[in-house]
Structure 1
Amino acid sequence: MHHPLRTLALAAAAVAALPAWAQDVVKIGYSGPLSGGAALYGKNVLDGMQMAAAEINAAGLEVGGKKVKLEIVALDDKYNPSETAINAQRLVQESKTPAILVPHSGGIFALQTTNEQQKYLLLAYSSVPQITARNNKLTIRIPPEYTGYVQPFVKYTMGKYGKNLAIANADHDYAKAWTAAFKPAWEAAGGKVVAENPMSYNRSADFYSGVSRVMAAKPEVLFVGGASEPTGLVVKQARELGFKGGFAIIDQAKLDEISAVTGGYAMLEGSIGVLPLAEDSSPDAKAFVERFRKRYPGRTPSSEVSYNYTMVHATAIAMKLAGTATDATAIRAQMDKAVKSLPAEHNPNTLDAIDERGGTVNDTRVAVVEGGKLREVKLSTLNAAK
């Protein structure tokens, strides 16, 4: 038989022990590639998220009068949208995640079919315009839309090398969306697509047959890109097969990571792509790169790291402003205000705002490789150039 006094004493002891662990643990989910050809890409995204969570926890986060500890729960989906959907179910059921970050459009679209009903905020790291065009009330598109790159990329490479383009980019959803925007823009500018051979960047390490197939059409410009490492191999193999023209490189591939594969920038002569974060001259970007290198010696952060780092910081601020770490709708309502109130050190890509459809707004910088050196260029300058 239970002794009533003993039961009371136990209950009192349990209550007395509360303050020691009265810290709510809130889990933010991640589903992305952590194995396969895009593993480095997925790891960069995850590192940015974990770096932010570590800083937030060290500084102390208080939401609605309670101490909150953020924890990132990461699951590998091998870049496969059906795996992303399975992972999301697990994250929601087992970890009660109020937010899940996914770094590929296929996976994002898969989750957009259910995230509003299941009430979690989908943090979408992909610059495909359709992500916000769907008007999903619980989606934030982290990078700016890639469509802003298309015109300047066409203008620069066509003006420098000529009108014959071969398409040799990756064949996943995101790369297909880029092709669907780039090809008509190239043709509208008076160019000709002489060959089209997208390749499976995630499953292959040898692109010779695919690259020689497009080289046979004698292109002056190659349109390439997917994850950075395979993109580097495509560039290298094109040069080894005698390609002398320029490269238009989609924003998923990072010029500094490609140059690690090509042994420097010489093979990337005449390329245009997104400005690598490590080459960004702004003081906040420089300071962020230093902090990251201290935390992960021997590594240099890409914009995958910085954008997703910033978004976890913004989500924490939005939780604070909303007074809840679990209500996704309330958190979403504060995201624009959260981005606007980010300290500069937590916003190395200088995101300015979140628009009404959930997309970020900022002035993107690109880079070109000329004389074997990388040069920073503002999009507005390229757009103005005749």
Structure 2
Amino acid sequence: MEQKAKVKMLRQMLIGATAIMSVAAATDAMADQTVKIGSVEPLTGGIAHLGKDNENGARLAVEEINAKGLTIGGQKITLQLEGLDDAADPRTATQVAQKLVDDKVVAVIGHLNSGTSIPASKIYSDAGIVQISPAATNPAYTQQGFKTTYRVVATDAQQGPALAAYAQSKGLKSLAIVDDSTAYGQGLANEFEKKAKALGLKVVSHDATNDKAVDFRAILTKIKGENPDAIMFGGMDATGGPFAKQAKQLGLRAKILAGDGVCTEQLSDLAGAASENVVCSQAGAAMEKMPGSAAFVTKYQQRFGQGVKFNAPFAYDSVYILVDAMKRANSTDPAKILAAMPATDYKGVIGETTFDSKGDLKHGVISLYGYKSGKKTFLDEVKM
């Protein structure tokens, strides 16, 4: 009897242990799965304010999605945003990209600059990870043959010509061009120059500076002697602001034309009264023209205690576009997310997003702005 009792007790213990293991396995299956998403932009340096705006937009989307609850393939998902600083530097960008790959992110929202997005894109492509840039506008970014590159803004091949067409429409017949030697600034300036010449406008000079420059008086003095109707500046607001300010100080009469890198609320602080002489483009719809802008601006202000600088709504929608692909793939596997991306048709804050075979928007929009009393003011919209 004693032996039988021992056997019975052992059986009961084994059954109990098996039950505990089953419950533990079931509980583990129901536990949240953490899914990492990368976010890369310059968080230090002269355009850190634009980078932080970008990251804030992505973070707001991640926090909202987690608060609502996300289930993919029967698994509860918690998104984790891994925000990293590439300092707007191409070499740093590739190092950061490799870190995100090593950290097993399923996709990346970024980078901000064309000059960092392009070199980083090969690393993401080699890893089979989706990259959605909320800001990179150089056409070359999506022309490398990679299946992983996407963007939610128009390109410089659209933005440059829109600025040139504006110059023609305003009777600006002679033009000087200055770029900051970056992939973005140089690419935008080149696209502008091609279109300007095609329209019969006279390009009197094309000079180069760099994205760290603070003194433009030598170039501007030379341009003053050329007496153009307008100067097209390819670069960011950290250099574009001082450029416009020094042009005014030197008494240049020329209008300053610039792209989306200059077209920020910050420009009036950087250029002072000279911002009134600037007309700039934005590779996307104006905030007031975006379908979901009012609600987004309110949420952003409440969460971060400041207004939107520029790219936040594009980064915000990029996260939702990524999650939409996860849902359609019913998976968080990077390869399956990538396979779902081409069929994207998402309606968000910035409007409807659909992609062509290269990962560019099918219907790009260019917005033109001026500055009045220190405020960025919408002028016109060009649909491409």
TM range (shorter): 0.7 to 0.9
The separation in 2 between residues aligned to 1:42 and 1:371, in whole angstroms, is 25
User: What whole-Å deviation, never above 9, does each CA across 1:130-152 have from its counterpart, x for those lacking one?
Assistant: 22222211221221222223333
Structure 1 partner of 2:302: 294
* 1:39 Cα deviation from its structure 2 partner: 1.5
Please, what TM-score do these two structures have when normalized by structure 1?
0.84
Instruction: Tell me: CA distance 1:287–1:211, structure 2 relative to 1, closer, same or farther (3 Å).
Output: farther
1:130 aligns with 2:140: yes
The separation in 2 between residues aligned to 1:119 and 1:310, in whole angstroms, is 21
User: What whole-Å deviation, never above 9, does each CA across 1:158-207 have from its counterpart, x for those lacking one?
Assistant: 44253221222322111111122111222222222223222223x23343
The one-letter code matched in structure 1 to 2:359 is G
CA contact (8 A) 2:37 2:82 kept: yes
Question: How many residue pairs are counted as aligned between the two chains?
Answer: 368
Q: 2:380 aligns with which of 332, 356, 377?
A: 377
Residue aligned with 2:65, SS: helix
1:61-140 equivalent positions in 2, closer than 5 A? 61-93=70-102, 95-100=103-108, 101-124=110-133, 125-140=135-150
Residue range with higher mean Cα deviation, 109-118 or 7-16: 7-16
CA contact (8 A) 2:290 2:350 kept: no
The one-letter code matched in structure 1 to 2:377 is L
Residue aligned with 1:153, SS: helix
The separation in 2 between residues aligned to 1:113 and 1:16, in whole angstroms, is 39
Instruction: Tell me: CA distance 1:111–1:11, structure 2 relative to 1, closer, same or farther (3 Å).
Output: farther
CA contact (8 A) 2:366 2:381 kept: yes
The alignment yields a C-alpha RMSD, in angstroms, of: 3.1
The one-letter code matched in structure 2 to 1:113 is K
CA contact (8 A) 2:189 2:234 kept: no
Residue aligned with 2:256, SS: strand
Residue range with higher mean Cα deviation, 74-83 or 161-170: 161-170
User: What whole-Å deviation, never above 9, does each CA across 1:35-83 have from its counterpart, x for those lacking one?
Assistant: 1122122212111111111111111111111111111112222222222
* 1:13 Cα deviation from its structure 2 partner: 10
Structure 2 partner of 1:220: 229
* 1:121 Cα deviation from its structure 2 partner: 1.2
1:354 aligns with 2:362: no
CA contact (8 A) 1:165 1:191 kept: yes
The separation in 1 between residues aligned to 2:125 and 2:162, in whole angstroms, is 36
Residue aligned with 2:281, SS: strand
* 1:97 Cα deviation from its structure 2 partner: 0.8
Residue aligned with 1:165, SS: strand
Q: 1:198 aligns with which of 205, 208, 213?
A: 208
The separation in 1 between residues aligned to 2:20 and 2:126, in whole angstroms, is 38
Residue aligned with 1:36, SS: coil
The one-letter code matched in structure 1 to 2:335 is T
User: What whole-Å deviation, never above 9, does each CA across 1:94-137 have from its counterpart, x for those lacking one?
Assistant: x2011123222232222333433322112234122222222211
The separation in 2 between residues aligned to 1:213 and 1:126, in whole angstroms, is 31
The separation in 1 between residues aligned to 2:186 and 2:194, in whole angstroms, is 13
CA contact (8 A) 1:161 1:245 kept: no
Structure 2 partner of 1:335: 341
The separation in 1 between residues aligned to 2:356 and 2:76, in whole angstroms, is 30
Structure 1 partner of 2:65: 56
The one-letter code matched in structure 2 to 1:36 is G
Residue aligned with 1:144, SS: coil
1:155-234 equivalent positions in 2, closer than 5 A? 155-201=165-211, 203-234=212-243
Instruction: Tell me: CA distance 1:179–1:317, structure 2 relative to 1, closer, same or farther (3 Å).
Output: same
Q: 1:142 aligns with which of 152, 176, 186?
A: 152
User: What whole-Å deviation, never above 9, does each CA across 1:316-341 have from its counterpart, x for those lacking one?
Assistant: 1111111111x223212323544x24
Gaps of 5+ in 1: none
* 1:376 Cα deviation from its structure 2 partner: 3.3
Structure 2 partner of 1:313: 320
Residue aligned with 2:37, SS: strand
Structure 1 partner of 2:5: none
* 1:242 Cα deviation from its structure 2 partner: 1.1
The one-letter code matched in structure 1 to 2:266 is E
Identity across matched positions, percent? 25
The separation in 2 between residues aligned to 1:370 and 1:258, in whole angstroms, is 9
The separation in 2 between residues aligned to 1:182 and 1:250, in whole angstroms, is 10
Instruction: Tell me: CA distance 1:271–1:301, structure 2 relative to 1, closer, same or farther (3 Å).
Output: closer
Residue aligned with 2:204, SS: strand
Residue range with higher mean Cα deviation, 36-45 or 307-316: 36-45
Please, what TM-score do these two structures have when normalized by structure 2?
0.85
The separation in 2 between residues aligned to 1:352 and 1:86, in whole angstroms, is 30
CA contact (8 A) 2:296 2:349 kept: yes
User: What whole-Å deviation, never above 9, does each CA across 1:227-255 have from its counterpart, x for those lacking one?
Assistant: 22332221122112112222221122224
The one-letter code matched in structure 1 to 2:303 is R
1:197-276 equivalent positions in 2, closer than 5 A? 197-201=207-211, 203-263=212-272, 267-269=275-277, 271-274=279-282
Residue aligned with 1:355, SS: coil
Instruction: Tell me: CA distance 1:134–1:281, structure 2 relative to 1, closer, same or farther (3 Å).
Output: closer
Gaps of 5+ in 2: 1-9
The separation in 1 between residues aligned to 2:69 and 2:235, in whole angstroms, is 38
Instruction: Tell me: CA distance 1:274–1:139, structure 2 relative to 1, closer, same or farther (3 Å).
Output: closer
CA contact (8 A) 1:350 1:362 kept: no
1:322 aligns with 2:329: yes
